[in-house]
Structure 1
Amino acid sequence: MDKELYIADARWHASFEDMIEKVQRDENKTVYYYNENYIKGKTVQYEILRGIWIVYHDFELKVNEFFPVEEKGIIEMNYCMAGRCELDCLNQKIFYVAPGDFAVAILSSGSHKHNFPLGNYRGISITTTEENLDDFLKNMFGKTRITSYMLLHKMNIHGKFMILSNNRYIQDIMGNIISEDDFWRERAIVKFSELVLFLIDKDIQVSEIKGKYFDRRIISKVKLIKEDVTENVEKYITIKEIGNKYEINTRTFSECFKEIYGKTYYAFIREFRIKKAAGMLLNTKNTVGGIAMMVGYENASKFSKAFHDIMGMTPGKFRRR
């Protein structure tokens, strides 16, 4: 698998060359620095042994969505450190991993995609294949009965994926799998070995989706509603009004919105309005009362209280600082 194509098939209006500002390579590591017109941040790829890739992401998107299209037959592990990652592993069924969550999946088709709905993401991916994983296990443990089948079989029982939410052992492994010391590669190999052994343990507690996944059609509709509402933030709209206007069940909307963005609709919109107001306080000479109305508040008093709750100070003090 050519790892340089890891994001090359993303659905952009720009070419791959436009998205990458600079590439630095050494014997075992490739660093992609993005063009800040599209993405602020970087991706670092490490090949710890043949066909075993550790990929570290730390970026902020300046476009609405980012869909790296993966190859069929890949075993992929994702650990979210910050932000939120959307995974499509269930034949148009979408689920999400939040900070501290770990997911491992078998990519059964080339249509598997990732998306980062909060616009920022920091996390680690590990990709390999069944063949390369078997070679890794033989190199590590010699004449061992441990094979990739033990992991794949366990994943198949759970629908070709497993999710572990806030597992401390996983968090310790993934938090130390990448280092910058002289023996980073050796440490990464040891940590990856620990991870595989932990995942195939028959006693591991694997999280079930428990209904928290949605059809892509519903996901797309909720995202469009969110875009519409945030673009017209001066017109405050309730969930009941959303249900009537967009012809969507209010309970479905509320549950789906929280899964996508990690917060309730009301909490998300409240924070969005205040942060937009903060930008206006810094970059315009509009009065506090005028800004309050521009972000959908009927009076300055309610606006000031909400602003203080989120920003920790009054609008006036924020502007002076």
Structure 2
Amino acid sequence: MEASAFSHFSKGTIVARNNDHVVYRLDPEYGQATASVYAVMPGVEVISFNFQTSRFIPTFHSKRNILELNHCQEGRAECKMKDGCLQYIGEGDLFMNTMSNHSHCIELPLGYYKGMNITIDLEKFTGQLSKYLPDFLIDVQGIADRFFLNDECYFIQAKEDIQHIFCGMYSVPIEARTTYYRLKVLEVLIYLYYFDVASETQKTFYARQQVDIIKQIKKKMIEDFDRRFTIEELAQQYCISPTVLKTTFKGVYGVSIAAYMKEYRIRQAASMLHKTQKSIGDIALAVGYKSQSKFGAAFKEIYKTSPLEYRSKNQIKLN
């Protein structure tokens, strides 16, 4: 079966290829990205994404009746949909959309993303499904119509059933991936066939103007990360209510402001431990911790080791 029948990446460079598998190195403006494309059935491809960047322009499949299923394993993605809505995919979520409401730009608020994409050409695949499930008739177009009755995208928030389907797809040995992915595509279609569409509460859509303000606030905080801003102070400065600030920030970045800045400070500290000879006390102060003991506890919570142990294992030998 020919790989990359329709999920080509025109701005990518092919770094590996065989009969049913193509690996692209993508070239986003900042960072690195790869896409591994597996042709698993006629009209069906599974794409494994690994991004270390903040922004990506996805492939657009023009004039095709395409269904996309996107599962997030790690990170977070902001999808700017054709209808103007901003959707956020977090760890464990399954996001479904059609090409009539595709995302023309994907931003990665945390700077990284790993996930799986199942791309189905509904016209090409519909007639093939009976070969794989001869005793179980599934109308794939009917599934799509049911999920997109009121909108052209649909969210299934992280839950055990979704995790059960996708978890093995990230660890299966490379020689078994095509066969394994084929089985998983069939499994997810059966899952969607029985899924109660009306039971799932859809995630909140966020207005672009509010999101832009939240991004300005985040930029301000990380540029001056040794300072402790209060919610009230930021809300007043950016003319936004404290409640909207807190809820929208969590919607965009997946965690509270406090949790986001805590991890950011500790990761900056880890970089200093790795690259400089500064004392642990000075590093603690540099990232906004007046108490070295509180810094040590926060560091261990994230890195599962003390700052001193981390430095001894990771520090670059400086001349």
TM-score (norm 1): 0.81
* Shift in alpha-carbon separation, 1:305–1:147, aligned structure 2, 3 A: closer
Q: CA deviation at 1:286?
A: 2.5
* Distance in structure 2 (CA, Å) of the matches to 1:103 and 1:259: 15
The aligned residue for residue 12 of structure 1 is none
- Counterpart of 1:209 in structure 2: which amino acid? Q
Q: Deviations over 1:78-112 (max 9, x none)?
A: 11112223234472222322222212222324554
Q: CA deviation at 1:120?
A: 1.7
1:213 to 198, 205, 210: 205
| SS of match in other structure, 2:126 | helix
* Distance in structure 1 (CA, Å) of the matches to 2:98 and 2:27: 31
Question: Is the CA contact (8 Å cut-off) linking 2:23 and 2:35 kept in structure 1?
Answer: yes
1:70 to 60, 70, 83: 60
Q: CA deviation at 1:117?
A: 1.7
Matched, 1:108 2:103: no
* Distance in structure 2 (CA, Å) of the matches to 1:36 and 1:216: 23
* Distance in structure 1 (CA, Å) of the matches to 2:189 and 2:293: 55
* Distance in structure 2 (CA, Å) of the matches to 1:240 and 1:301: 28
What is the aligned residue count?
306
- Counterpart of 2:76 in structure 1: which amino acid? R
* Shift in alpha-carbon separation, 1:71–1:246, aligned structure 2, 3 A: farther
- Counterpart of 2:267 in structure 1: which amino acid? K
* Distance in structure 1 (CA, Å) of the matches to 2:162 and 2:294: 43
Matched, 1:31 2:35: no
Q: Which runs of 5+ in 1 are unaligned?
A: 9-15
Question: Is the CA contact (8 Å cut-off) linking 1:78 and 1:124 kept in structure 2?
Answer: yes
* Distance in structure 2 (CA, Å) of the matches to 1:186 and 1:302: 50
* Shift in alpha-carbon separation, 1:154–1:46, aligned structure 2, 3 A: same
| SS of match in other structure, 1:209 | coil
Question: Is the CA contact (8 Å cut-off) linking 2:30 and 2:55 kept in structure 1?
Answer: no
* Shift in alpha-carbon separation, 1:294–1:313, aligned structure 2, 3 A: same
Q: Which runs of 5+ in 2 are unaligned?
A: 314-319
The aligned residue for residue 140 of structure 2 is 148
Q: Please give the root-mean-square deviation of Cα atoms over the aligned residues, in Å.
A: 3.1
* Shift in alpha-carbon separation, 1:267–1:186, aligned structure 2, 3 A: closer
* Distance in structure 2 (CA, Å) of the matches to 1:160 and 1:35: 29
Q: CA deviation at 1:308?
A: 4.2
* Distance in structure 1 (CA, Å) of the matches to 2:61 and 2:164: 29
Deviates more, 1:244-253 or 1:287-296: 287-296
TM-score (norm 2): 0.82
Q: CA deviation at 1:53?
A: 1.1
* Shift in alpha-carbon separation, 1:300–1:105, aligned structure 2, 3 A: same
